[in-house]
Chains A and B, each alone.
Chain A
Amino acid sequence: EAQVTQNPRYLITVTGKKLTVTCSQNMNHEYMSWYRQDPGLGLRQIYYSMNVEVTDKGDVPEGYKVSRKEKRNFPLILESPSPNQTSLYFCASSLSRTRGGLTDTQYFGPGTRLTVL
């Protein structure tokens, strides 16, 4: 089954404790992206990746890191989480052309609800 998976689905942590949220897709998509969803703000893009080893900042990258060492995986790293990073996080993937942009819709993972105390 074609899907985007995220782990963990729920996480409660404390300020400053490094964490990683994993994202994996089995559709051989070049493009992957991370979003956070907050009430009244919709989804805001954190980082995206056009292909292996190619990443770029979205609208709210502060406090986050990403890496794309393999095509199927795109982990989101919070080096020193803070309470304002409490949110619902979604990973997404899509077909794309490296220099030509997205060519299809995005497929979203089930979300990771993060609480930072």
Chain B
Amino acid sequence: AQSVSQHNHHVILSEAASLELGCNYSYGGTVNLFWYVQYPGQHLQLLLKYFSGDPLVKGIKGFEAEFIKSKFSFNLRKPSVQWSDTAEYFCAVQGTGGFKTIFGAGTRLFVKA
């Protein structure tokens, strides 16, 4: 079955700490991968995406993610978080050439000032 698994449902960090959010997927065939962010009271916005090419992709606000095909993973990283990164983060996968999108359950990040 197609699925996306985000390992941590809640993460609490202090400012300047490093962040890594795990995402693993189960999907037959080639995929497009995304991380979206939802700040409190706002709608989803794209952080970064992988369609093809360099498996290390850089997004907005200093975020990056690495696609490891052999591990079916697309983990999100940031070297030093800020209070303003407090949000919910969603990993998503689409089959290349397809139209359905599968989202993970989300990870709520709280950054202490």
Contact = CB atoms under 8 A, between A and B. Distances in A.
Contact of B43 (A58, A59, A96, A108): A108
Interface stretch (A11-19, A66-74, A97-105): A97-105
Contacts of A100: 97
Interface string B33-61: 01010000011111001000000000000
What interface size band does chain B fall in? 20 to 34
Contact of B45 (A35, A50, A108): A108
Interface in A58-117: 58-59, 90, 92, 96, 100-102, 105-106, 108-111
A65 B105 CA distance: 24
Interface string A27-45: 0000101010000111111
Size bracket, chain A contacts: 20 to 34
Contact of A42 (B42, B99, B106): B106
Nearest to B106: A42
B105 A42 contact: yes
Interface of chain A, main secondary structure? strand
Contacts of B90: 42-43
A31 B99 contact: yes
Given A42-B90, A100-B97, A102-B32, A110 B43 contact: yes
Contacts of B101: 33, 45, 102, 106
Interface of B: 4, 6, 9, 32, 34, 36, 42-46, 49, 90, 92, 94-106
